[in-house]
Amino acid sequence: MKIALLQTVTGASKAENIEKLTPLIEDAAAAGATLIVLPEASSQAFDQGRLDTQAEELDGEFATGMRELATRCGVKIVAGMFRPGDVNKIGEKTLNRVRNTALITGENIHKGYDKIHAYDAFNYRESDTVQTGSELVTFEHEGATVGVAICFDIRFPEQFKALAARGAKLIVMPTSWADGADKIEQWRTLTAARALDSGAFIAAAGQARPDWQTKAGEASGPTGAGHSCVVNPVGHRIAEAGYAPETLIVDIDLSEVDTTRRALPLLTITEQTEMH
């Protein structure tokens, strides 16, 4: 299976982000990629204005644009976007929360996964403005089951084990990782660990680091730190980007998953209990 990870920096406008992403997707499809993974917050980046003002359902401008593009290019696209959520009251404040969604779209598929684990860490509270989901999501691509996660989910091994128990041989993950001290080291450790936990390939496409030329490695909010990667089932990083925008196109051999799981049968009956 040939997959592409599009590491880029998106902005505040859905229309401009579609325009920016279109040639990247077209180039990846022309290079033979059939599954294309975009970053978290591809429709509107973090720290680019209120998310609720542009949140849309799956029939909105961004989701429809991605579906039309995927269909035209003959690929499946997984891309981070935001959908309307509930109302959250914090003291005297009333906030219109959104759902942090990974859109999965292409011919004969158009659905979303809502991020289960809110980024309530490192002095940031995503749950104030983001309503978390509760359902695992998988889809089929070229005869294989693919699981979906988003960014901070990577810190929760049970989710990846549950996706593997549902048959996922590849888990794709739109991401906008916060930069700062030790954050890249943590990212590398976590992606390798989740590959080992699940015996699956992990393919994570991240937002590139804004101002990567001068600020790479400095502390930031969840606006991206690059380092998109593909990790094989034994935890080896077979491709990794740096801080700057970059496209990774990687051939993966899913038979490695079967070989790994036979040698290291971690998916016991106990672990095959579905997570809800």
Contact partners, residue 129, CB within 8 Å, separation at least 6: 51, 52, 88, 95, 97, 98
Catalytic annotation, pick one of 115, 126, 161, 240: 115
Give Cα separations from 186 to 61, 154, 158, 179, 253 (angstroms). Answer: 35, 10, 18, 11, 26
Question: What residues of the chain score a pLDDT lower than 50?
Answer: 269-270, 272-276
Domain ranges of the chain: 2-272
Whole-angstrom distance, CA of residue 228 vs CA of residue 53: 28
Structural element, H or E, at residue 112 = strand 109-114
Can you say whether the dihedral through the CA atoms of 14, 7, 122, 199 is positive or negative? positive
Give me the phi and psi of 99, to 5 degrees please. -105, 130
Whole-angstrom distance, CA of residue 137 vs CA of residue 141: 13
Among 245, 195, 204, smallest CA distance to 10 is for 245
- How many CA atoms lie less than 13 Å away from 96 in the CB half-sphere? 10
Catalytic annotation, pick one of 151, 169, 229, 240: 151
Q: Is 151 a catalytic residue?
A: yes
Q: Helix, strand or coil for residue 97?
A: strand
236-240 contacts, C-beta under 8 A, 24 or more apart: 236/192, 237/188, 237/191, 237/192, 239/5
Structural tokens at position 60: 């909105």
Catalytic annotation, pick one of 14, 40, 56, 76: 40
Instruction: Render pLDDT for 217-231 as a digit per residue (tens, 0 to 9).
Output: 999 989 999 999 999
Domain 2-272, classified CATH 3.60.110.10, yes or no: yes
DSSP 1: -
Q: Helix, strand or coil for residue 125?
A: strand
> What pLDDT is stored for residue 95 in this prediction?
87
